Homo-oligomer: A and B are copies of this chain.
Amino acid sequence: MTEPARRTPGRPRDVDTHEAVLEATRAILLEQGYHRLTFGAVADAAGTTRSTLYRWWPTLGALVLEAAADNIDIGEVPDSGDSRTDVECAVRQLIRTFSDPLAKIVIMAAIANLDGDMDMATRFREEAVYPWRSTAAAAIERARDRGDLSPGSDPTFLLNVIVGTVFQCTVVPAKPMLDGLEGGLLDLILPPAR
């Protein structure tokens, strides 16, 4: 009832190989970094050949984004009815994601390719950045509508504060600086009752 079970002709894609490639990609990214990620290296590690990789992933960026899809996905921010709870949820999810080693590597690679492989940068934005931004923006707007923000605060600007600060505290430094990050951000954005 879910699937009409309609199959296309031709030999079906080899799912084992597919998964082995993604796994090899993750391994190389974590162990050697993006600058060592090579079609040849991935093919060798996955026990397949470059031809097969090129068939499915036109560029390294596409491969990376698919391999790290789970690590990059940020998820939902439910409407709890309480402003602080909502924003806290959004911030926490962001911190968790940016603290993931694989996600860090992918984020830096995406930034590195802001020029050059536009494909990767664009898809990264569309698949990872925008969804979270719109979700978090909704939470912040709800808070504003309840009057919990500093008067005159622009939700988009606050979003940039959150993302930028988390980025600066987690991705940029060699050792993440997580102490007081979550609380500090919340206090900035939702000034505690005076």
Query: A residues within 8 Å of B by Cβ?
Result: 33-36, 105, 108-109, 111-117, 150, 152-154, 156-157, 160-161, 163-169, 172, 177, 180-181, 184-185, 187-188, 191, 194
Contact = CB atoms under 8 A, between A and B. Distances in A.
Copies of this chain, whole number: 4
B169 A165 contact: no
Contacts of A180: 154, 157
27 contacts: A33-B115, A35-B113, A35-B116, A35-B117, A108-B111, A108-B114, A109-B112, A111-B112, A111-B172, A112-B113, A152-B187, A154-B184, A156-B177, A157-B181, A157-B184, A160-B169, A161-B161, A161-B164, A161-B165, A163-B164, A163-B168, A164-B165, A164-B166, A164-B167, A164-B169, A165-B165, A167-B167
